[in-house]
A = this chain, B = another copy of it.
Amino acid sequence: MIEPSTIARFTSLLGPKGVVTDPEDIAPWTSDWRGRYHGAAAAILAPASTQEVAATVALAADFGVALVPQGGNTSMVGGATPPADGSALILSLRRMNAIRSLSADDNLAVCEAGVILSVLHDAAEGVGRRFPLSLGAKGSATIGGLVSTNAGGTQVLRHGTMRALVEGVEAVLPDGSIFDGLDALKKDNRGYDVKQLLIGAEGTLGIVTAAALRLVPAIAARAVGWVGVETPAEALALLRLVEARLGDSVEGFEVIADETLGFVLGHIPGTRSPIETRTPWHVLIEVDHNDMREPGPSERLESALADAFERGIAIDAAIAANEAQADAFWRIRESLSESEKAQGPALQYDISVPVARMPAFMIDAAQAAQAQFPGTTASSFGHLGDGNVHFHVRAPKGTSNGPAWIAAHGRAINAFVHDAVVAAGGSISAEHGIGQMKRAELGRLASPARISALRAIKAAFDPKGIMNPGKLIPLPEEA
């Protein structure tokens, strides 16, 4: 546990507003939102400026006190939960919540780490632009966390993950120095890409204090379609067809099994299938135009789908007739997680494989898992165009004690699914990161060259190990 006299030093640095020590105020921030990980921290440090972050980190380095950076605390992998032994303090960026600049001309927003994603969405809309990354937690997730976890979402197909959207980063390195990489240079060959190193580092190399983010034109017109197909392979053929026909306008392409759709229709009142025919697989497509050119997205999507019917790829299809219908189509997609959860206990995997191998993976891995673990049902849904699906293995029907089932089988099922992913040339973490949840599996499965590269970088930046300890880097016994 950290001495009160040490906390007092931070208080004299940051003032009373900058240090939270009331256990009741701290409690919500010492567990992850899913309730899987529970830690302890004697204080939350909340600096209000980059200079204060730098001074805080320098002081922590002096004392050898570990820091766990936190934005909205919405990690899916326990990445923002402090260690249980109280050996670290939480460093909250929530007071650094200014949008420093916002330029429609430059298509650029410079945001401090604590800016909440939905606040940026609104601000960008206010100047006729948008920030093209969104996810369920947008009302809590912060820019610092999104940068530090290289967040994804449903618009990656067209706009990429945070790696593609961050044009500059300001960060405090573990020695307290400020890395000022905020100038948004489209070309910069001054050596190693420190910016990309900080993106997705999960706070283990330093504290991201601000980022310059790329904005794109507002959507002028969109079309949302729903297509029934026979197999994931046909879904991929459809993706290739619409990409060839509609190019960069394809913003969303989500694949859903009919059984999964059934969960939504049974669980969410007022939902109905967008198409009449019952097909084994479904695709949700969104096509966006930045301008009002003719033909518009609906006509273009319709023409592409006519082609898909002709080639026997599509079985049935519907294009939303208005915005309300478009929202209803998307509501199905957005209700998948909740509806699946209502079916009972399940293990969920956020994985990626090369796009071309995904259709076979979706079928084969599910069948193999069901055969290996009798009674379970496995299926996947998600971002086929990114080679990223959420793969779920549900407990046998009637399993009432979820935690007990996970305790008994979780380890074996994790290993089975991850082995299948690695065999398909994929990644055991597509967009959620490693945190503490996947650390041991990363250690088990990554190549020695990758593990030693990760460790070497970590040791080089953070020789004292004070930055988000226990996250991302496999422990010595884990690799």
- Give the interface of A toward B (CB within 8 A): 103, 105-106, 149-150, 152, 156, 161, 163-164, 173, 175, 177-181, 183-194, 196-197, 199-202, 205, 217, 240, 244-245, 247-248, 290-291, 352-356, 383, 385-388, 425-434, 442, 446-450, 452-454, 456-461, 472-473
Contacts and interface: CB of A to CB of B under 8 A. Distances in A.
Nearest to A188: B427
B449 A185 contact: no
A352 B197 contact: no
A449 B353 CA distance: 36
A103 B461 CA distance: 39
A453 B446 contact: no
A358 to B, nearest CB: 10
A429 to B, nearest CB: 5
A426 B183 CA distance: 7
A179 B461 contact: no
Contacts of A193: 163, 193, 196-197, 199-200
Given A187-B431, A217-B244, A388-B187, A192 B449 contact: no
B194 A450 contact: yes
A307 to B, nearest CB: 13
A158 to B, nearest CB: 10
A65 to B, nearest CB: 21
A189 B352 CA distance: 10
Contacts of A181: 450
A456 B454 CA distance: 13
Given A200-B192, A247-B290, A185 B354 contact: yes
Interface centre among A105, A164, A190 (most CB of B within 10 A): A190
Contacts of A446: 190
How many chain copies? 2
Closest 9 CB pairs of A and B: A460-B460, A456-B460, A196-B196, A177-B449, A187-B430, A183-B425, A188-B427, A179-B449, A186-B386
Contact of A189 (B179, B354, B430): B430
Contact of A187 (B161, B197, B290): B161
Contacts of A248: 248
B179 A453 contact: yes
A187 B352 contact: yes
Contacts of A245: 291
13 contacts: A149-B189, A150-B189, A173-B453, A181-B450, A187-B386, A189-B430, A190-B442, A191-B454, A194-B450, A196-B197, A217-B247, A245-B291, A453-B461
Contacts of A196: 163, 193, 196-197
B386 A449 contact: no
A183 B354 contact: yes
A461 B450 contact: no
A244 B105 CA distance: 10
A201 B192 contact: yes
Nearest to A178: B449
Given A173-B453, A449-B173, A189 B356 contact: no
